[in-house]
């Protein structure tokens, strides 16, 4: 079986002491940063990106994957213990998780989050291994027109799933596309909108913009609210870490459902972890015999979204590894990291560097296992970390981000640019624009332009090529359908309801 030989190859790579170490460090550091309230997954990955530069490509990607899961898990810890979601994916976890913590059941809540995540991670790893190869073959049938249409579909997905106004989300994507145009033109090499600033000749660094609009902007926004944020930290000692038999029986169907839902939503471009956790929570509430328990410490309300977001986080690697298209902002950062190491993600990587792809897939599973092993005993430390007041934490984060950006290119201008984008991000937040679609647009911009150009060149300037090739036409049709659905009032109301409900 090809599948087993691939997985064996992967585990062979991932189980070397060096890579195990990197995976462990990544997961630990990721959790450490992810636990800090106000720093989401994207900011964490962006911040920690530079520490992987000195590593060989496989090691660097393994460590980044570790950081990613660590950050996700760290986010859930914060939600359960302090009612502050470290990131968007764990917003729903706060609803029941924090209630459980208040009832003195923080231990089981944390444990079930870890167990659910681990189970979801196992399933998703197998799914990636199974789907990876066939999807790569499919990817080879893709021409420029199909790629372009697929990216349009991905962006539309991101719009539909973003919260708030559809119009504003599209505007953010287009702004991102526009920002990605800065720098040299791929074909002619002409300098575009760079104003003869040498640092802009290569374009705006993705990590720079990400750190600005997510890192710095978040800090500034948090300062608005007063540094002493209202922190309902659960003070009592966390005892009884392990869930009871009843907890396990209650939560295992929820974990199963969350995993399935998350895996599916993760594969879809633009979907990803956020919507998966919302959807899983809503589903649990819908099918529960007694929905009123939700929001009052129902263990299913922790188990389902946590499993779903982890499954989605993992399966979102599928479009990245097979098609080279990042489905969300975190994956976009991964692309950035890969490019820095000279790897162009896409179907070729799967064939030319199988040890890299399968090594990473195997290390995802190992990373999940490590999270469960290291985090349960370390909960006490994370709690102590949460007691560090924000007035001391935010200057430290500023310095860390600044050093991080500087070390990417050793360019002071990058730091200034990130600062500027921090202010832009602050403005965007104040006007209710979401920065995540902007980031996605920025990453997909060059890819989209290239494929659009190529498609039109091949079709000799005929724009109908996107509609006459069957695969491309299907993708465009799905995108158009989604957009119509998103604008239709009935669905909009429902969609808003989901978000409102989970935020209140």
Partner 1 sequence: MTDTPGHAPVKSIMPKWVRGPQDFVGGVALMAIALFALWASSDLQGMHGFSFGAGTAPRMFSVLLLGLGAAIALVGVFSEGAHLQTYHWRGPLFVSLAILSFALTIRPLGLVISAMASFLISALGTPETKWTETIIVGVCLTMGCSLLFPYALGLPLQLFPRFLIP
- The answer to whether residue 422 forms part of the interface with partner 1 (CB under 8 A) is yes
Three-class DSSP category at 260: helix
CB nearer to partner 1: give 66 or 422. 422
Stretch 185-214: interaction string toward partner 1, x if CB under 8 A: x-xx-x-xx-x-------------------
CA 182 – CA 293 distance, rounded (Å): 52
Quote the strand ranges of 130-255, DSSP E. Answer: 183-184, 191-192
Size of the site for partner 1 (CB under 8 A): 65
- The answer to whether residue 177 forms part of the interface with partner 1 (CB under 8 A) is yes
Structure tokens at 321: 């590894």
CB nearer to partner 1: give 5 or 468. 468
Stretch 354-393: interaction string toward partner 1, x if CB under 8 A: -------------------------------------xx-
102 CB-side CA count, 13 A: 14
Among 59-67, 145-153, 296-304, 412-420, which window interacts with partner 1 (CB under 8 A)? 412-420
Three-class DSSP category at 171: helix
Phi/psi for 191 (5° steps) reads -80, 125
> Shortest Cβ distance from residue 221 to partner 1 (Å)?
8
> Shortest Cβ distance from residue 461 to partner 1 (Å)?
2
> Shortest Cβ distance from residue 168 to partner 1 (Å)?
6
Indicate which single residue of 10, 34, 40, 50 sits in contact with partner 1 (rule: CB under 8 A). Answer: 50
Residues 51 to 80 in contact with partner 1, rule: CB under 8 A: 51, 53-54
Q: How far apart are the first and last CA of the chain?
A: 50
CB nearer to partner 1: give 4 or 195. 195
Structure tokens at 96: 């029941």
Give the sign of the dihedral formed by CA 338, CA 339, CA 344, CA 349.
negative
CB nearer to partner 1: give 250 or 450. 450
- The answer to whether residue 410 forms part of the interface with partner 1 (CB under 8 A) is yes
Among 14-22, 112-120, 145-153, 170-178, which window interacts with partner 1 (CB under 8 A)? 170-178
Cβ neighbours of 234 (radius 10 Å): 19
- CA separation, residue 253 to residues 243, 249, 300 (Å): 15, 8, 9
CB nearer to partner 1: give 53 or 477. 53
Residues 227 to 286 in contact with partner 1, rule: CB under 8 A: 227-228
Q: Please, are residues 23 and 370 in contact by the beta-carbon 8 Å criterion?
A: yes
Indicate which single residue of 452, 465, 475, 476 sits in contact with partner 1 (rule: CB under 8 A). Answer: 452
3-state secondary structure 95-119: HHHHHHHHCCCHHHHHHHHHHHHHH
Contacts of residue 4, Cβ cutoff 8 Å, sequence gap at least 6: none
Q: Please, are residues 92 and 300 in contact by the beta-carbon 8 Å criterion?
A: no
CA 465 – CA 473 distance, rounded (Å): 9
Structure tokens at 158: 């991101």
- The answer to whether residue 407 forms part of the interface with partner 1 (CB under 8 A) is yes
Residues that bind partner 1 (CB under 8 A): 50-51, 53-54, 165, 167-168, 170-171, 174-175, 177-178, 181, 185, 187-188, 190, 192-193, 195, 216, 219-220, 223-224, 226-228, 391-392, 394-396, 398-400, 402-403, 406-407, 410, 412-413, 415-416, 418-419, 422-423, 426-427, 429-433, 449, 452-453, 456-457, 460-462
């Amino acid at each position: 079986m090809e599948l087993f030989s691939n997985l064996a190859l992967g585990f062979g790579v991932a189980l070397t002491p060096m890579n195990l170490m990197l995976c462990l460090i990544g997961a630990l550091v990721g959790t450490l940063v992810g636990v800090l309230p106000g720093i989401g997954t994207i900011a964490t990955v962006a911040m920690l990106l530079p520490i992987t530069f000195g590593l060989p490509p496989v090691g660097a990607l393994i460590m980044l994957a570790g950081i990613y899961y660590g950050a996700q898990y760290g986010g859930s810890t914060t939600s359960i213990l302090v009612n502050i979601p470290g990131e968007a994916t764990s917003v729903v976890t706060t609803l029941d998780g924090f209630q459980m913590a208040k009832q003195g059941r923080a231990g089981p809540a944390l444990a079930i989050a870890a167990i659910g995540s681990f189970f979801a991670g196992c399933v998703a790893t197998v799914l990636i291994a199974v789907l990876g190869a066939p999807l790569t073959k499919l990817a080879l049938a893709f021409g420029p027109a199909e790629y372009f249409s697929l990216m349009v579909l991905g962006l539309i997905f991101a719009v539909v799933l973003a919260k708030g106004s559809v119009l504003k989300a599209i505007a953010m994507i287009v702004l991102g596309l526009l920002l990605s145009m800065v720098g040299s033109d791929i074909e002619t090499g002409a300098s575009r909108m760079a104003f003869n600033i040498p640092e802009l000749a290569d374009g705006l660094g993705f990590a720079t913009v990400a750190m600005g609009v997510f890192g710095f902007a978040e800090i500034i926004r948090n300062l608005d609210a007063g540094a002493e944020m209202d922190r309902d930290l659960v003070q009592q000692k966390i005892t009884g870490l392990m869930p009871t038999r009843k907890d396990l029986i209650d939560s295992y169907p929820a974990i199963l459902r969350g995993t399935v839902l998350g895996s599916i939503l993760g594969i879809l471009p633009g979907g990803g972890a956020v919507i998966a956790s919302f959807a899983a929570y809503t589903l649990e509430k819908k099918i529960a015999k007694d929905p009123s328990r939700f929001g009052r410490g129902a263990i299913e309300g922790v188990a389902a979204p946590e499993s779903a977001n982890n499954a989605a986080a993992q399966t979102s690697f599928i479009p990245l590894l097979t098609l080279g298209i990042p489905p969300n902002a975190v994956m976009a950062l991964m692309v950035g990291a890969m490019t820095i190491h000279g790897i162009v993600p896409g179907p070729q990587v799967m064939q030319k560097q199988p040890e890299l792809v399968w090594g990473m897939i195997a290390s995802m599973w190992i990373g999940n296992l490590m999270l469960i092993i290291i985090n349960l005993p370390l909960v006490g430390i994370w709690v102590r970390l949460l007691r560090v007041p924000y007035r001391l934490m935010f200057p430290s984060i500023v310095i860390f981000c600044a050093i991080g950006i500087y070390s990417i290119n050793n360019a002071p201008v990058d730091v200034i640019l990130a600062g500027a984008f921090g202010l832009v991000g602050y403005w965007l937040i104040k006007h209710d624009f979401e920065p995540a679609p902007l980031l996605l647009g920025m990453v997909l911009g060059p890819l989209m332009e290239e494929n659009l150009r190529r498609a039109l060149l091949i079709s000799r300037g005929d724009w109908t090529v996107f509609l006459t090739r069957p695969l491309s036409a299907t993708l465009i049709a799905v995108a158009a359908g989604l957009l119509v659905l998103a604008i239709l009032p009935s669905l909009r109301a429902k969609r808003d309801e989901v978000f409102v409900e989970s935020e209140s």
